[in-house]
Amino acid sequence: MITIEFIVIILCLLVGTRFGGMGLGLISGIGLFILSFVFGLQPGKPPVDVMLTILAVIGCAATLQTAGGLNVMMQFAERLLRKHPQHITLLAPFTTWMLTFLCGTGHVVYTMFPIIADIALKKGIRPERPMAVASIASQMAITASPVSVAVVSLVSIIGAQHGVGQAWGILEILAVSVPASLFGVMIAALWSLRRGKDLADDAEFQEKLTDPKQREFIYGSTETLMNQRFPKQAYWSTWIFFAGIAVVVLLGALPDLRPAFEIKGKMTALSMNLVIQMMMLIAGAVMLIACKVNASAISNGAVFKAGMVAIFSVFGVAWMSDTFFQAHLDELKMALEGVVKSHPWTYAIVLFLVSKLVNSQAAALTAVAPMGLMLGIEPKMLIAFFPASYGYFVLPTYPSDLACIGFDRSGTTKIGKFIINHSFILPGLIGVSCACAASYLLVQTFF
């Protein structure tokens, strides 16, 4: 019966991913219904705390976008790239990494792709080199951002364990995930410097240039934010957002600054979940008032829509998986506890594969990390293999990868004949494996 129930979950994930994040959340409801009504499992608990924290972060980031703060960040990034075009392959991934790190979502970097392609083409650099690794870097930064859905989810999951949250707060997680993520991006970028043929030696590319229309299409247009001027409120919103992030990190680092309340006879500091929620709501409110943001336009932005889809997918997937794992916890512990404890890297493999199934780092974590803790994996191992939550580059179906392919007018960033041999597979594997190795060494050395 356990096997059949697990197959139901896998089928729901496979079918759901065909319809994107919303489909994943909705179809997970079908799996939950089958588990409860057909197999008689008691429904688990939906991750309400995680969802509310995500909602607060998305509301703040969407207000920042509406105020023009995201455009300010991207203009600064473009200025850096155009100032050093010869280093585009190294600078582009760190630029997209930083944008995601600051904003908490990889969906903010789409505007950068045509800019990166334009700079590479004008410098005679194969666009695939900076573009593919830039797309990978934009997703790898999710595990390093203090306001990303994935980091918020991991903080909530670990903090829910008795006594664990005090030892592993957001600052400890970021102290490992930030350098590990940057290391993985750096190695992937260095590998990308010489990937593929130079444009002058690429027969397929040179053949395209023989057609005047193709040549005009490839070299004709210039995408830029350099000439745009933004109102002063756009700059204010950027600093307000940074200030909100700084306060979150400060309160995570210094628990004594947070108010304490008596819970079950013990004084306990206010949880970081609630701190993040409060500070993101406050930062959004200050932007709304001080920057003259059109409140009705906030929900129409790309960040808000992407965030709501993420909440919905986390809701359905986590609820369905929690129902299964809670019902069979004792059996799973007997079968897997010894293996997982002696070989914790098996957790990383499961997390990586589930991430591909659900196309979301946060959804993969909410499905797999609680199970890992229940099976006796140390919390520090969850942090050590945090980078493995990014596995959805394996098949080129994620929106940022597809957008990257579309913006490369040269056609060098592409999906191969065998699907799996696409432009993102090698930089993704290199980046994630190196980040996991660095993360593991940091955890073992300092914690």
pLDDT of 316 > 70? The answer is yes
Q: Once rounded to an integer, what is the mean pLDDT over residues 328-345? A: 70
The position carrying tokens 């191969």 is: 416
Burial of 52 (0-12, 13-18, 19+ CB in 10 A): middle
What b/e string do you get for 84-119 counting C-beta neighbours within 10 Å, with b at 16 or more? Answer: eeebbbbbbbbbbbbbbbbbbbbbbbbbbbbbbbbb
Percentage of residues of the chain with pLDDT beyond 90: 29
- What's residue 416's pLDDT? 76
Enclosing H/E stretch for 153? helix 149-159
Q: Once rounded to an integer, what is the mean pLDDT over residues 25-36? A: 92
* 18 DSSP assignment: T
pLDDT in tens, 162-216: 444 446 778 889 999 999 999 999 999 999 999 988 888 888 888 888 888 888 8
| Spatial separation of the C-alpha atoms in residues 109 and 142, rounded to whole Å | 12
Task: Quickly state the pLDDT bin for 334 (edges 50, 70, 90).
Answer: low
pLDDT in tens, 224-277: 677 788 999 999 999 998 898 888 878 876 778 889 888 777 787 787 778 878
- What's residue 185's pLDDT? 97
- What's residue 266's pLDDT? 79
| Spatial separation of the C-alpha atoms in residues 40 and 290, rounded to whole Å | 53
**Structure-model confidence comparison of residues 378 and 92, the more confident one:** 92
**Structure-model confidence comparison of residues 211 and 293, the more confident one:** 293
pLDDT of 35 > 70? The answer is yes
Residue 257 has, within 13 A of its CA and on its CB side, a CA count of 10
| Spatial separation of the C-alpha atoms in residues 368 and 311, rounded to whole Å | 17
Task: Quickly state the pLDDT bin for 65 (edges 50, 70, 90).
Answer: confident
Enclosing H/E stretch for 94? helix 88-103
Arithmetic mean of pLDDT over the chain: 84
Enclosing H/E stretch for 120? helix 112-122
| Spatial separation of the C-alpha atoms in residues 54 and 38, rounded to whole Å | 32
pLDDT of 21 > 90? The answer is no
Measured CA to CA in angstroms, residue 43 lies from 40, 251, 323, 325 at distances of: 9, 35, 5, 10
pLDDT of 20 > 70? The answer is no
Q: Once rounded to an integer, what is the mean pLDDT over residues 128-140? A: 95
| Spatial separation of the C-alpha atoms in residues 57 and 51, rounded to whole Å | 10
- What's residue 204's pLDDT? 86
* Cβ contact 50:314 at 8 Å: yes
Q: Once rounded to an integer, what is the mean pLDDT over residues 290-315? A: 83
- What's residue 228's pLDDT? 82
Range of lowest pLDDT (22-36, 151-165, 226-240):
151-165
Burial of 166 (0-12, 13-18, 19+ CB in 10 A): exposed
In 40-149 the beta strands, taken as DSSP E runs, fall at none
The DSSP bridge partners found for residue 268 are: 261
Write out the two tokens for 301: 């932005």
Residues with Cβ < 8 Å from 378, sequence gap 6 or more? 344
pLDDT of 386 > 80? The answer is yes
- What's residue 102's pLDDT? 81
| Spatial separation of the C-alpha atoms in residues 447 and 441, rounded to whole Å | 10
Q: Mapping DSSP to helix (H, G, I), strand (E, B) and coil, where does residue 266 land?
A: strand
The position carrying tokens 């090698």 is: 426
- What's residue 392's pLDDT? 85
**Structure-model confidence comparison of residues 252 and 153, the more confident one:** 153
Nearest by Cα to 400 from 130, 138, 58: 138
Q: Once rounded to an integer, what is the mean pLDDT over residues 308-326? A: 79
